[in-house]
Amino acid sequence: MKLRTGFISNSSSSSFVLSKNFVSDEEEREFREQMEKADRYDTIGETSNFFFGVVDYSDVFCQWLEGKHFIGIEWG
């Protein structure tokens, strides 16, 4: 699978995986707050070790996520 560090400009959505190993307790709390505000077309979930999802680039959650510059995030 090819991974990129950001979005493709002509794509309207992108998938991501964020390792919780690189997220502080405060960032995890903030992530969950932002996740609740996400657009209804976004698909966001979590496992015990990861946050993951498919998000629309124009959505506020997606813009927040990209702006956070998490070390443990991979865009696909």
Q: 28-72 pLDDT, tens per residue?
A: 999 999 988 887 778 899 999 999 999 888 888 888 998 999 999
Domains in the chain: boundaries = 14-52
For the cut 70, the answer to whether the pLDDT of residue 5 exceeds it is: no
pTM greater than the 0.85 cutoff: no
According to the model, what pLDDT value does residue 37 have? 82
Residue 27: name the closest of 38, 35, 39, 17 by CA. 35
Instruction: Provide the β-strand partners of residue 17.
Output: 52, 74
Beta strands in 5-66 (DSSP E): 13-19, 43-46, 50-56
According to the model, what pLDDT value does residue 7 have? 47
For the cut 70, the answer to whether the pLDDT of residue 8 exceeds it is: no
According to the model, what pLDDT value does residue 74 have? 92
Which residues neighbour 37 within 8 Å (Cβ) at sequence distance 6 or greater?
60, 61
